Amino acid sequence: MNRRTSSIFRRGPRPQVRPHPVDMAENLEQAGFLDRAIRTISTGVKRALPEGPVKDALHGVPVGHPAHPPLTDLPMGCWVSSAVLDLVPGTRRASSALVAVGLAGAVPTALTGIADWSALHREQQRVGLVHAMGTAAASALYGASLVARLRGRDGAGRTLGLAGLGALFAGGYLGGHLAFRQAAGANHADQVSHLVTLGWHDLCPATDLPDGWPVRRTLGYISLFVLREEDDIHVLTDRCSHLAGPLHQGRITNDDDGETCVVCPWHGSTFRVADGSVVHGPATSRQPAFETRVNEDGIVQVRPLS
């Protein structure tokens, strides 16, 4: 074999792989050095936000949707618009006003984000902590920008604003990673409307169900939470809509109206077993529920609650 032919089998230098933003975000998921800070902050948040209407409002329970994501539109929209106006002559006051409105909107945005962050898995919390650091840095830079603008130092104000915009985009990227790659805030309950065919389906013999104790049963490949209370049988999808916790391992309790509820063992979301409605967050999506009946052979039958 001649030298020219053999050269094709030689290994050349490995091509350099440029780091991708998503790789860096995924590395944050495994950043265990953040855990001590996470434990400290989470403990403080949980003490400051006990279960109740304030915490539920921050999660978005009253509106049936996480409150944090839509609130981010206000500061981001204001600050991006301010950066655009900084390029247009004669818009100094309007640009300063947008910076101020963005700062005001950052307060409820941060509060709702902290509430949601405190009820996430550890890998999500690691990314969320750095996301919060980025958005906090953006807020601090925009606060300094507003002070500079009010003192007539427009050049410094614009520079600080651009730096804040960079921090905002970096933090926003991690927020997108949380939402779309780690599914924080998404509905994790099995969507039975398109997974279960119409009509009644046999589930199990009624005699197999213990009275007052939740159990797990399956309908095809869907896990179900089943609770029998004397002659009443309640069935919900078992995967909690918050982060897919196993409801059949949860605690049975009653709400203020005396309705039977189940508390998710992972993060404490509370659902009425009769219809799957949310009583307490962090879950905001209703738990899919089933109608039940017992046929003449003593078999429990179910169909999705319309």
* Domain spans, the chain: 21-181, 192-304
Torsion of CA 42, 43, 48, 49, to 10 degrees: 60
**Mean predicted confidence (pLDDT) in 129-147:** 97
At 190 the pLDDT is: 81
At 103 the pLDDT is: 97
Counting every residue, how long is the chain? 306
Residue 86: C-alpha distances to residues 94, 102, 135 (Å): 9, 15, 21
Could you tell me the two tokens for 40?
């400290």
Question: Percentage of the chain with pLDDT > 90?
Answer: 83
Cα–Cα distance, 112 to 108 (Å, whole number): 6
Cα–Cα distance, 198 to 163 (Å, whole number): 56
At 1 the pLDDT is: 46
pLDDT over 90 at 136, yes or no: yes
Cα–Cα distance, 285 to 264 (Å, whole number): 13
At 6 the pLDDT is: 46
So what CATH class is 192-304? mainly beta
Cα–Cα distance, 205 to 298 (Å, whole number): 6
Percentage helix, strand, coil, to 5, in the chain? 50, 15, 35
Could you tell me the two tokens for 20?
């991708």
**Confidence band for 59, pLDDT divided at 50, 70 and 90:** very high
pLDDT over 80 at 15, yes or no: no
Report the range of poorest mean pLDDT among 1-15, 72-86, 137-151, 208-222: 1-15
Q: How far from the centroid of its chain's Cα atoms is residue 215's Cα?
A: 27
Cα–Cα distance, 103 to 59 (Å, whole number): 21
pLDDT over 50 at 257, yes or no: yes
Cα–Cα distance, 38 to 277 (Å, whole number): 31
At 192 the pLDDT is: 80
Mean pLDDT across the chain, nearest whole number? 91
User: Within a 10 A sphere around the Cβ of 24, how many other Cβ atoms?
Assistant: 13
At 18 the pLDDT is: 63
Could you tell me the two tokens for 7?
């050269």
